[in-house]
Chains A and B, each alone.
Chain A
Amino acid sequence: MAVSKCTLLTGPLIKQLLDSVDTVLFDCDGVIWRGNQAVPGAADVIDLLKKNGKRVFFVTNNSSKTRKMYAEKMKTMGFDAKEDEVFGTAYCTAMYLKTVLKLEGKVYLIGNNAMKEELENVGIQHTGTGPDLIFGTPSDWANVPLDPEVKAVVVGFDNDFSYMKLNRAMQYLSNPDCMFVGTNNDTRLPLEGGKVVPATGCMVKAVETAAQRPAQVVGKPSPFIFDCVASRFKLDGARCLMVGDRLDTDILLGSNCGLKTLLTLTGVSTLADAEAHQRSGSPQRLVMVPDYYVISIADLLPALQG
């Protein structure tokens, strides 16, 4: 496979690229919206791609929304997206447990209501969501009663994360047969006003440290999240384009799955980041170099409208 060249996508190259693919997969945050603001022109790009006969999917590491919630968010922001076009990690983790791990048993869940719903939708029982505060003595914590039906610990975004939850997860994972799955490894989300929100990667790492073993992570750059879409819709990776704003998740996913990759500069990664990977010569970094880049996905409009 040719080494990705990080070429500016412009002029006739745009049509050439679009003609070579049947399917376009978009990351959401930093690509089609930023927080609650749609990227100008993004909704039109999606409409026109569909009018041009392309299939469009949305692939996000966020585990806090069900597919239904995503479809609703997209509708209010002016995007034409159906529930079955959106692949968030709440849904994909439930699918991973069901179809890949073939889980028979309950999940000890560190997560949120979206994950709860997606698990229930595929018939997987779980231990619930919400606060879990410490009580009693250290001996009580170490001897906390374990549900014998729990066969997997699943960690996603949980703003009720606590020491007690970390403890329970660790106790379950001391059984080497208990499976350990994380929705994604994203580290943090910046907020307005200089604040920052820790992301799921923090909680996964805390549990990995206590349990002294790694989680199986479903979200980008793990190929599973692409397999989730591809197996359902019979996609051919070579005829797919992955559009994202993060080199270490979106572009790396594309490389891992043999997709064409397009970096947009409306989000986290910069052109300098991509070029640094390109110059590095290191195999682990070269896979994060996109085939193409645009300033914004609105740059695709002229080719789509023409």
Chain B
Amino acid sequence: MPGDFAFKGCRKIQGSQIIHLLKAKDFFLFDCDGVLWHGEHAINGAPKVVNSLIRQGKNVFFVTNNCTRPRENYVNKFYRLGFTDVIQEQIFSSSYCSALYLRDVAKVQGQVFVIGGEGVRKELREAGIPIVEDEIDATDATIYDCALTQNVKAVLMGHDDKFTFLKLARASCYLRDPECLFLATDNDPWHPLQNGRILPGSGCLTAALEVATGRKATVIGKPSRFMFECISSQFPLQPAQCLMVGDRLETDMLFGANCGLDTMLTLTGVSQMKQAESYRDSKQHTNQNFVPDYVVDTIADFLPAFDVLD
């Protein structure tokens, strides 16, 4: 049964197996970084795969923890990189879903203190959520003399390359109120760039705020189920008909397991086959949740299947 941790195949598939999978599934959820593109370069064949799935009438969604752009910028990026059939409604980023959470689940009454860039702020504004907009980057203010905004009912931690001690301190003060919500777009500790280089992720900043406050953040992004629930609230998703395709075992595969979806690891990104096999062979039951059902070298391995299906 999909998502059952008893045994995950972790099998590399191709040819007729992929054809079978494409016939069996109606909903394809793709992570983006490391699956469709690396930075500004589409992975060879990926645009054709996505465009073909859409033209075949499959439901395609994009589920990304990357909160650095608003969805309309993502649409531009998809188009620029050759994914010409993608529309905004298919894109579910952690920043968009954080806005939905604040508006529809928490129904927040009051302002939200955001640590993050325009990618997060714009989504909240578009959802009609008031955010603290004062000049917090003023360099001579300190926690001892700065004023605290009244009526802050939530703190949202996202990826912030302009992160400072003062922002951390202000967020800690707001979170002293147990009624003030503590949200994080995602927990990723680092992100890969090209050539094996990495950068710190939101997970580091969230960890700092958790230590300062003694509280745990509610994480919106993968592997939490919430982004799947966002998609389900807008589209008629059946878990058994879904395939989650990602490159990171600890986020994408675990997300799939948490939502009861079949999972596919593509080897064009963060995680390697050896790591997947290591989780599979581990004695710890819960490690099975990191193991993919299927593995491909690249999603371009789908392409021969379309020739048959067309």
Instruction: A187 to B213: give the CA distance in the assembly, Å.
Output: 8
CB distance from A212 to the nearest CB of B (A): 6
Asked if A29 is at the interface (CB within 8 A of a chain B CB), the reply is no
A201 to B176 alpha-carbon distance, docked (Å) = 18
Nearest A residue to B199 via CB reads A142
Contact of A205 among B163, B176, B199, B207 (CB under 8 A): B207
Known: A134-B161, A161-B165, A187-B214. A196 touches B197 (CB 8 A): no
Residues of chain B within 8 A (CB-CB) of A187 are: 211-212, 214
Q: Once the chains bind, are A198 and B162 in contact (CB under 8 Å)?
A: no
Please, which residues of chain B bring their CB within 8 A of the CB of A191? 143-144
A161 touches B199 (CB 8 A): no
Q: Is B173 a contact partner of A202 (Cβ separation < 8 A)?
A: no
The complex places the Cα of A196 from the Cα of B143 at a distance, in Å, of 8
Residues of the B chain whose Cβ atoms lie less than 8 Å from the Cβ of A166: 163, 200, 204
A159 partner residues in chain B, CB cutoff 8 A: 142, 165-166
Indicate whether A205 sits within 8 Å of B165 (C-beta atoms), given known contacts A143-B197, A195-B173: no
Distance between Cα atoms of A187 and B148 in the complex (Å): 21
Task: Determine if B172 is an interface residue (Cβ-Cβ < 8 Å).
Answer: yes
CB pair B148–A195 under 8 Å, yes or no, is: yes
Question: Given contacts A141-B199, A207-B204, A209-B203, are A196 and B189 in contact (CB under 8 A)?
Answer: no
| B143 A195 Cβ-Cβ under 8 A | yes
Does B106 have its Cβ within 8 Å of any Cβ on chain A? no
Nearest CB on B from A183, distance (A): 14
Judging by beta carbons under 8 Å apart, are B194 and A205 in contact?
no
B189 & A209 in contact (Cβ 8 Å cutoff): yes
- Pick from B169, B198, B200, B209: contact of A197, CB below 8 A: B169
Given contacts A191-B144, A195-B143, A207-B204, contact A163 B160 (CB under 8 A): yes
**CB atoms of A163 and B161 under 8 A apart:** yes
Q: Smallest CB–CB gap between A126 and chain B, Å?
A: 19
Does the CB pair B211–A163 fall under 8 Å?
A: no
CA distance A199 to B204 in the complex (A): 15
Taken together as a complex, chains A and B put the C-alpha atoms of A170 and B198 apart, in Å, by 9
Q: Mark B156-187, 1 if CB is under 8 A from A, else 0.
A: 00001111111011001100100000000000
Residues of B within 8 A of A188 (CB): 172, 211-214
Contact assessment for A206 and B139 in the assembled complex, using a CB-CB cutoff below 8 Å: no
**Residues of A with C-beta under 8 A to B127:** none
Give Cα distance in the complex from A138 to B211, angstroms.
Answer: 27
Residue A32 is within 8 A (CB to CB) of chain B in the complex:
no
B115 to chain A, nearest CB (A): 10
Chain A 138-161: CB-based contact to B (< 8 A → 1; otherwise 0): 110111000000000000001111
With A160-B165, A161-B168: A194-B207 Cβ-Cβ less than 8 Å: no
The answer, yes or no, to whether B190 is at the interface (CB within 8 Å) is: yes
Residue of A nearest to B177 (CB): A194
Q: With an 8 A cutoff between CB atoms, is B193 at the interface?
A: yes
Taking CB atoms, residues of chain A closer than 8 Å to B208 are: 198, 202-203, 205-206
- CB pair A202–B211 under 8 Å, yes or no, is yes
B254 to chain A, nearest CB (A): 17
Question: Are the C-beta atoms of A141 and B194 separated by less than 8 Å?
Answer: no
Residues of A within 8 A of B142 (CB): 159
Answer yes or no: B29 CB below 8 A from chain A CBs.
no
Decide: A139 near B194, CB < 8 A? Known: A163-B200, A198-B212.
Answer: yes
Closest 8 CB pairs of A and B: A142-B197, A198-B212, A202-B208, A210-B200, A206-B208, A163-B163, A209-B204, A206-B204
Q: Which residues of B contact A (CB under 8 A)?
A: 39, 139, 142-144, 148, 160-166, 168-169, 172-173, 176, 189-190, 193-194, 197-201, 203-205, 207-214
Q: List 8 A-B contacts (CB under 8 A).
A: A134-B161, A134-B162, A139-B197, A162-B164, A198-B209, A202-B209, A205-B211, A212-B190
